[in-house]
Structure 1
């Protein structure tokens, strides 16, 4: 055990660094030599170093625990409390968060390197890197969340950044519409998150406080409460439904998947990051993180159908069919992402937690690689067009590295052995059947065949056959190429003028800044599956060993947690020390039976370990001791299907191989030889024409949402708001204006004209009349003045006499 665990204790720095970098780029980016890109790159590189250090120390921590329970590393700080409600911010480090911390930082760094060349000269270059950096920071905040409030914070940061990045070229109306569509569609699902978190708080708060978890916002407390049996099943059921609605929106599941393909309006690096390791993975992560709630709420181990597997099954099938009618290469990949997210959800809904999480890991590499390959083709092969039928074809010779990486990642996507996707997706399919969800296993196999077929179609149209349009050297205006849908844009016009000189040479391989990330991802698309090969022994299952939570129950849980080497989570009470001593004595006795020397070393290590634990923070230790002693588990006991080549793996491989062969033959006949029996078939045969139209219009879901639901909801609200504006607000404003006018007129007539002017005019008249009366006295005659003086003296004498009588 490490004497210190600095990286584990300070993992909160991983999201903080890119968060600070965002503000630095916004404030100072345009004054820097690389316009702020260097700050984004440096922040993601620093976060990656910290994530790798955290992973290394977590692996050591797990190895030291052996088969025992591995306590997560939880640190938190109270930042607000009122009337007994406490909100904290902190970190929750376990295998799931460690895996995603590495994945997000690694993928984000490669995407930013790719972007240096890809968006060079962009009109908002600095703002692009700022938003891209904050996007990654939001995902990292959510991954590290110790409580549901912090999880919501990271969740919403990503929602805001996705709006900014999808609408990066907002001058084009289609891009603005796509950004708004993504924002509002995801917001619909987010209502479920707010409702679910609220229900969890009021349902679990008393229990969590009593058992030392702090509050009903604690993720550990919620998980333990869900599995304790003390909560109402109905409450857990409806909470799980509310939370899953949020996951449907964020992870593009049916029926809220429609925003995801339209999000391709953003720059390709955004598409790559959004579809591989951030944003859309957030919904899957939420289910995986709060898995006990879904496990108990949907009774996953005791049923053969639930809401998660139904939605996931539908999503797999509809996305596979929609990918066939797309001419935009990025939209094919977008629907592919929708399908792969369906597989992840299917695994979680059927109790295959480990395969589903492993598919998050492998999918990130090959999906990011595929999107970057599409960007490479657009950048250097098709004059910034993404239209496979119009501007691609025959690019394998001009772009051999891009082509090779595309093939490797495509084979990983379809699940061919020995590429990464085989090890994760095949495990999902096997475990779904093993856990009693047999119908959904066959749905998953059909989805695998569809995936193979549309991937071959995209490969043929892009890299095989004869060059067409821009790939053949024909340059044309691609600033806004529409396919009948106001949202469909298959070009990146803001970059065209910057790279015209490069494109003047015709299709050729992309620069190194584009190829290096692609090559690295292609290697991982080939080899990452070998971190958890199901056909090998358990000693090879490294991913499962370090990522899947180990389940502990009752006293065994408390004893094993007491042996952990983390000061802030150690138990410092006398009772815990006694248990530690008992465990140490038993352990020492067992070791002594092996070799005396080994026992001595173990005892010394135990003594050092006890000293370190005694120095732990007492308050945190006491709370943690209460939590570990008084609850049963924080993660359910899941089963794992035994790997079998026959019939499971070979059946899947045979279906995929047959789909590849059939699809290639059809593509060669339809696009290569122009076989008359196939060309125009969907126009000649009515049922096929109807089916194609149905798919081309995306099941008319957009029409349903925009023309029916939005009109049914938004239009009445708009009319009501207009009535309130015209009759209430304007009535108040107009009434106030009229009242003011009447008061003004009254004041003018009564006060100004009558009182004020009357007083002024009266004083003037009085002065005038007084002057007229006194004017005769001002004659200038001395005799008159003498008479007046004598008369005045006489009057004064008379007055004196009267007074003195």
Structure 2
């Protein structure tokens, strides 16, 4: 009876995972008082690299509302964390998790003889995401309490970052492409609003517009792939598509609607990969991510670690059977989507790392390093090393969140981001002198770090892929 109860929880609890942050967003937005407008003449409103509010009226919440905002925002993400880890504990306690998929769904919209469904699932892939995403978000939220303490728009900040976290968690637990795409788009909206949070700064609102328009181009193409997939299969459910060999075989053998020499699976895969290239900031749609550093530091940590760019890698791993349909990456037989990922990811990894070493601003260095790290993951996925890419995704999330928050603390205290000056700034904060090297040790895959383990696995996969290709050429 206890086992059945746990299985029931694993089926139903995922619905509750994103609920806490989403409720926090609505409560903070609707119930906190921000109607009081005061002249922005207080020095605290132009402090610590925040934009100057002098000469304008600023909406300021009462002290009680600010306290309620912090309590509600933090409670929402902690609730999501506890529920997510409960789901992880229940799921991993089942020795047959890899064979069974927990979840539940319901018909949402009838479309002729079929129906679009909404549902959630728990499987080995999103179990590791449910371990990482809420934990990283909790750390970022706690950091945000001190970071946004002097900002008059604190309530707006916590409302948006709660919605951001809720959207990412919705994407993670989704059991179909439609719900995944809903979370995907809400994150795009939140990134626009949070990158441009200090919209008084011209550079901030221009960066927000660039991020929104660049990712929307990729998202439209991704949506075309989703619609085409639904037109061929009559479903967007991961279980009905990815665990059905007949569906995958049909997609691999059906000629594409355009480019007839290509299979439908390849065309759909290319459309979905382009969406990922935009969301995960790969060349040539990488241009929005470095400018996204104009937003508050916790937003940078969310985008680079817990959400946004991680969503693109997760989506590729989730849909991997479609990308590989008709090919065998482990034998060196790459389909067009896999070849596209291999080429784009490999070039982006080298290209972005080269730019990073020439930057002066510490957040720009971290931004380009993120693009490079994501390039390694995309390239690894292109050759079939999806386990190594998933491990790299998790390790990258933690050390990159650490680096952004530690560097944000330094910038907050020194009021600039030039890392050449930081090198000569001794005694500012002893914690930062410990935390920054700890994160920096993992970033270049230094020996003994978890970054070393992840990158070594990906490099080994590339070597094996090269050996397969060489063997095939020699055989011919």
Q: Using structure 2 for the length normalisation, give the TM-score.
A: 0.85
- CA distance in structure 2 between the partners assigned to 1:224 and 1:436 by the alignment: 29
Q: Deviations over 1:586-639 (max 9, x none)?
A: xxxxxxxxxxxxxxxxxxxxxxxxxxxxxxxxxxxxxxxxxxxxxxxxxxxxxx
Match of 2:82 among 49, 56, 62: 49
SS at match of 1:407: helix
Matches within 5 A, 1:180-579: 180-205=209-234, 216-225=235-244, 228-233=248-253, 234-296=263-325, 299-303=328-332, 306-380=339-413, 382=414, 384-389=415-420, 391-436=421-466
Q: Deviations over 1:24-57 (max 9, x none)?
A: 0101133635151211100110111011111111
Shift of the 177–192 alpha-carbon distance from structure 1 to 2, 3 Å rule, reads same
- CA distance in structure 2 between the partners assigned to 1:109 and 1:423 by the alignment: 25
- CA distance in structure 2 between the partners assigned to 1:58 and 1:132 by the alignment: 28
Q: Deviations over 1:299-347 (max 9, x none)?
A: 5334366111000001001101111221110010000000111111111
Which residue of structure 1 lines up, in the alignment, with residue 208 of structure 2? 179
Shift of the 29–139 alpha-carbon distance from structure 1 to 2, 3 Å rule, reads same
- CA distance in structure 1 between the partners assigned to 2:389 and 2:140 by the alignment: 24
- CA distance in structure 2 between the partners assigned to 1:91 and 1:437 by the alignment: 40
Match of 2:154 among 115, 118, 125: 125
Q: Deviations over 1:376-419 (max 9, x none)?
A: 10122x1x211223x42223543222111111111111112221
Matches within 5 A, 1:574-613: none
Which residue of structure 2 lines up, in the alignment, with residue 508 of structure 1? none
CA contact (8 A) 2:332 2:468 kept: no
- CA distance in structure 2 between the partners assigned to 1:198 and 1:299 by the alignment: 26
Which residue of structure 2 lines up, in the alignment, with residue 2 of structure 1? 3
SS at match of 2:26: helix
CA contact (8 A) 1:35 1:125 kept: no
Shift of the 117–299 alpha-carbon distance from structure 1 to 2, 3 Å rule, reads same
CA contact (8 A) 1:149 1:217 kept: yes
- CA distance in structure 2 between the partners assigned to 1:83 and 1:74 by the alignment: 25
Match of 1:104 among 127, 130, 133: 133
SS at match of 1:36: helix
- CA distance in structure 2 between the partners assigned to 1:374 and 1:167 by the alignment: 20
SS at match of 1:4: helix
Which residue of structure 1 lines up, in the alignment, with residue 25 of structure 2? 22
Shift of the 416–392 alpha-carbon distance from structure 1 to 2, 3 Å rule, reads closer
Shift of the 438–176 alpha-carbon distance from structure 1 to 2, 3 Å rule, reads farther
- CA distance in structure 2 between the partners assigned to 1:35 and 1:175 by the alignment: 28
- State the 1:424 CA deviation: 1.1
- CA distance in structure 1 between the partners assigned to 2:467 and 2:28 by the alignment: 50
Which residue of structure 1 lines up, in the alignment, with residue 258 of structure 2? none
SS at match of 1:108: helix
1:11 matched to 2:30? The reply is: no
- CA distance in structure 2 between the partners assigned to 1:304 and 1:425 by the alignment: 23
SS at match of 2:3: coil
Shift of the 343–297 alpha-carbon distance from structure 1 to 2, 3 Å rule, reads farther
CA contact (8 A) 2:98 2:124 kept: no
CA contact (8 A) 1:29 1:36 kept: yes
Which residue of structure 2 lines up, in the alignment, with residue 592 of structure 1? none
Which residue of structure 2 lines up, in the alignment, with residue 148 of structure 1? 177
Shift of the 82–204 alpha-carbon distance from structure 1 to 2, 3 Å rule, reads closer
Shift of the 326–304 alpha-carbon distance from structure 1 to 2, 3 Å rule, reads farther
1:95 matched to 2:124? The reply is: yes
Q: Deviations over 1:498-517 (max 9, x none)?
A: xxxxxxxxxxxxxxxxxxxx
- State the 1:423 CA deviation: 1.3
Q: Deviations over 1:746-802 (max 9, x none)?
A: xxxxxxxxxxxxxxxxxxxxxxxxxxxxxxxxxxxxxxxxxxxxxxxxxxxxxxxxx
Which residue of structure 2 lines up, in the alignment, with residue 771 of structure 1? none
How many residues are aligned here?
423
SS at match of 1:403: helix
Which residue of structure 1 lines up, in the alignment, with residue 103 of structure 2? 74
- State the 1:87 CA deviation: 1.7
Matches within 5 A, 1:703-718: none
* Unpaired runs of at least 5, structure 1: 206-215, 440-805
SS at match of 2:425: coil
Q: Deviations over 1:195-223 (max 9, x none)?
A: 11111112222xxxxxxxxxx21111221
Q: Deviations over 1:414-463 (max 9, x none)?
A: 11222111111111111121133789xxxxxxxxxxxxxxxxxxxxxxxx
SS at match of 1:326: coil
Q: Using structure 1 for the length normalisation, give the TM-score.
A: 0.51
CA contact (8 A) 2:331 2:468 kept: no
Bigger radius of gyration among the two: 1
